[in-house]
Structure 1
């Protein structure tokens, strides 16, 4: 039986979709009007504009003609279209991961900077393998052994982004609850703390803790990740993992809201040096 599963969108596909939506809006056209003028199936146009489908070259050219795109815009978007399905980050077993999580892995692999706030967990990019396994088993109680190991393997592979030639810039902020909760036992948490302290020595990693005594703060409603990408033309992205499902937010209003929220969390959290002292104290490494 052939695999009917759709590959998750790439950053380039999202950029293409965003530019086509912008060009259509600038031309003063609705989707229905585009369908009427060019005979493009309405469902297809919707999927293209939502980054759920890669347009064929002839379809893209028809849209660019209709939108009266400039030569520079045509050249740029044709180049983006030709590489929009490039998913070199995919691993054979990724097709068995939930589609939203596979999409998240792909976006993260292409990101320049990840700003991650977590209220209850150590961020995935900073987890040790024993901690990650304990988290997956605890949160996903019905998972099979194979499913647990796939999730753990994916999490460990993601961390290679922090050690490549041009590493991902990671700024992580956690509530004190994340470092206080004994996940996997005391030994696992001590190992996790030592790993965090080593990571914090890297120039591309910033880690802050919001102590309990800071009281209520902007991150209490839940965790989120904000990503930006090396090419300024690629739209920023916010990822929110909720019990009702994973959300990818990309409107300018949503991006501004979460960027502002992260800035508030940066301000209320203690600095990296004080955070390191708190980590060591919680782990019993210091008095």
Structure 2
């Protein structure tokens, strides 16, 4: 679905979204998940994730908007060096014209999207095809009913309104990246 959609909006609670992950961060997440056991399986998953990222930079890139909680920046994945590089990569990606990145700081308190991460996929010309994806350890859950999609659209709008503006978000990401420097 990701290959044919025109935009993705995502809210993430603890992990950098796959389309914004560095290879090292993605590898650390994959190893920690314990779902893939062999080095070959892990390598394959990382390669697939990196190939998927071409949707952000290739011909006719999709529009991508991510709201990340501050926990995504502070959950150290792969050690300080990997995490610092990952955060610097987020800043680089957020400077692309088709990518918007916002951070929802801990200080903003309770909000409607607090429960689980999700992705909203929008398709060209037919809003009735829009989908919501929530990922769980047991598998992915796709929602397509108009009322479900509308609910998640409202949740995302609330999250982005509660989050820091993009420029302030990048400043915060850069500050946290510096905390991982030796």
Interval of TM-score (by shorter of Structure 1 and Structure 2): over 0.9
Question: 1:197-212 alignment to 2 at 5 Å?
Answer: 197-212=91-106
1:245 is aligned to 2:146? no
Could you tell me how far apart the structure 2 residues matched to 1:260 and 1:136 are? 31
Q: Tell me the equivalent position of 2:177.
A: 283
For residues 29-83 of structure 1, the C-alpha deviation after alignment (integer angstroms, 9 at most, x for no partner) is: xxxxxxxxxxxxxxxxxxxxxxxxxxxxxxxxxxxxxxxxxxxxxxxxxxxxxxx
> Which structure has the larger Rg over C-alpha atoms?
1
Structure 1 unaligned segments of length 5 or more: list them: 1-106
Could you tell me how far apart the structure 1 residues matched to 2:149 and 2:15 are? 23
Structure having the larger proportion of residues in strand: 2
1:156 is aligned to 2:50? yes
SS at match of 1:239: strand
Equivalent pairs, count: 179
Structure 1 consecutive aligned stretches of length 4 or more whose deviation exceeds 6 Å = none
Q: TM-score, normalised by structure 2?
A: 0.94
Q: Is the 8 A contact 1:119 1:219 kept in 2?
A: no
Equivalent position to 1:236, from 126, 130, 153: 130
Q: TM-score, normalised by structure 1?
A: 0.60
**Bigger relative contact order (CA 8 A; separation at least 6):** 2
Could you tell me how far apart the structure 1 residues matched to 2:105 and 2:34 are? 28
RMSD after superposition: 1.4
Structure having the larger proportion of residues in helix: 1
Structure 2 unaligned segments of length 5 or more: list them: none
Could you tell me how far apart the structure 1 residues matched to 2:131 and 2:85 are? 32
